[in-house]
């Protein structure tokens, strides 16, 4: 096994998942505003450090995606945040894209930027302790979208990013997210997601990316949030697994789903059902943001000094998702 493959597998082994704590300052401010907590650097750090020092980190969370602000901060014990994460038995990572901007030539779609200066930034993040990275491409679904231009442009960016990351001895998380917003059916989502993922791997191979040293972070196959025709959770699982088997090369060691607007319970249940029927060699786990943090954030906002209580809420959610990543979750376990 290559060193990159070893890191990728370690992040997702034994049902472990990834905590996506890489919200930008703007996004984190919206989250904190939503629970009436001032968005200061100190409060953003306090909430994140509360999660990073929870007991579930060693048994459930294999990796943490950080934001540029957080990876450079110190914990209350005066050690660097990446050091805290390592001490808790997890692996620090970093979001390296600079956000999705309007795509020239298709102004209703977006292209993720951040390739300029990326090689230099990666060297800095590696020195700060990052062992893996994340880059997210986003795609709309409608009658005309995603366009060939959007699919090609984002796949090309994801591949260039991945090649640079591996050049710097880190594991790239490749995140092509077909968005849930819209009136599209689950079959539309299946077709478009399959097309998007296949194009990503065409570009990754063209750019000589080692597929054994990446983690794929896709969306599940869901009907749009405005669709009148929903499908069952079991159908979500079947279609999602079918999409992966048809679109993802077998060399890829692990797939960590994004929650993509699903509720905490829904994202856990769907992950569990996928693993109950998983007949592939892929490790299939989670890389959740809100679906791991939302209940903990609400609890914490009532008393930001109640560290232990907040950690209990977070521990529960993490344990539920780790059970789901092993196909061992049931609703009876929820509190």
What pLDDT digit, counting tens, does each position of 276-297 carry?
A: 999 999 999 999 999 999 999 9
Q: What average pLDDT does the structure give for the chain?
A: 97
Q: What is the mean pLDDT of residues 198-227?
A: 97
- Judged against a pLDDT cut of 90, whether residue 77 lies above it is answered with no
160 phi and psi, to 5 degrees?
-60, -45
Give the number of other CB atoms < 10 A from CB of residue 234.
14
Please give the Cα distance from 57 to 64 (Å, whole number): 9
Q: Please return the burial class of 255, using the count of CB atoms within 10 Å of its CB with bins 0-12, 13-18 and 19+.
A: buried
Helices (H), 100-222: 118-128, 148-167, 186-206
Start-to-end CA span in the chain (Å): 40
Tally: H helices and E strands in the chain: 13, 10
Q: What is the mean pLDDT of residues 239-245?
A: 98
pLDDT in tens, 78-130: 999 999 999 999 999 999 999 999 999 999 999 999 999 999 999 999 999 99
In the block, residue with structure tokens 């779609």: 109
By annotation, the residues acting in catalysis are: 175, 217
Our measurement of the distance from residue 309's CA atom to the centroid of its chain's CA atoms, rounded to an integer in Å, reads 25
Percentage of residues in the chain having pLDDT higher than 70: 100
Identify the pLDDT of residue 335: 72
Q: For 184, which DSSP code?
A: -
Q: How would DSSP label each residue in 70-122?
A: HHT-B-TTSSBHHHHHHHTT-EEEEE----EEEETTEEEEEEE---TTHHHHH
- Judged against a pLDDT cut of 90, whether residue 266 lies above it is answered with yes
Domains and CATH numbers, the chain: 3-333 (3.20.20.70)
Q: What is the mean pLDDT of residues 201-222?
A: 98
pLDDT band for position 333 (cuts 50, 70, 90): very high
Q: What is the mean pLDDT of residues 268-279?
A: 98
Query: pTM to 2 decimals?
Result: 0.97
Nearest to 247 by CA among 201, 184, 212: 201
* Residue pair 115/160 in contact by the 8 Å Cβ criterion: yes
Q: What is Dmax (Cα atoms) for the chain?
A: 53
Identify the pLDDT of residue 1: 61
Identify the pLDDT of residue 31: 94
- Judged against a pLDDT cut of 90, whether residue 161 lies above it is answered with yes
């Amino acid at each position: 096994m290559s060193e990159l493959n070893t890191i990728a597998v370690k992040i997702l082994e034994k049902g472990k998942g990834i905590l996506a704590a890489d919200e930008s300052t703007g996004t984190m401010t919206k989250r904190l505003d939503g629970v009436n907590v001032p968005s200061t650097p100190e409060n953003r750090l306090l909430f994140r450090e509360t999660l990073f020092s929870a007991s579930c980190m060693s048994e459930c969370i294999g990796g943490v995606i950080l934001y540029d602000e957080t990876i450079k901060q110190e914990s209350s014990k005066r050690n660097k945040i990446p050091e805290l994460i390592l001490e808790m038995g997890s692996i620090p990572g970093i979001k390296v894209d600079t956000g999705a901007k309007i795509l020239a030539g298709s102004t209703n779609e977006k292209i993720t930027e951040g390739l300029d200066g990326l090689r230099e930034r990666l060297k800095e993040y590696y020195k700060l302790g990052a062992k893996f990275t994340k880059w997210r491409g986003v795609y709309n679904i409608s009658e005309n979208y995603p366009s060939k231009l959007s699919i090609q442009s984002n796949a090309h960016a994801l591949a260039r990013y991945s090649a640079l990351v591996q050049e710097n001895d880190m594991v790239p998380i490749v995140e092509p997210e077909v968005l849930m917003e819209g009136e599209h059916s689950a079959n539309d989502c299946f077709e478009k997601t399959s097309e998007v993922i296949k194009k990503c791997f065409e570009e990754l191979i063209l750019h000589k990316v080692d597929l054994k040293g990446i983690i794929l972070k896709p969306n599940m196959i869901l009907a749009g949030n405005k669709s009148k025709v929903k499908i069952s959770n079991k159908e979500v699982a079947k279609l999602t697994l079918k999409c992966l088997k048809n679109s993802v090369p077998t060399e890829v060691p692990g797939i960590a789903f994004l929650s993509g607007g699903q509720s905490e319970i829904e994202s856990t249940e769907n992950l569990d059902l996928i693993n109950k029927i998983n007949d592939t060699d892929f490790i299939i786990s989670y890389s959740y943001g809100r679906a791991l943090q939302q209940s903990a954030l609400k609890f914490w906002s009532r008393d930001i000094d109640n560290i232990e209580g907040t950690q209990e809420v977070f521990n529960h959610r993490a344990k539920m998702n780790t059970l789901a990543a092993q196909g061992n979750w049931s609703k009876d376990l929820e509190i």
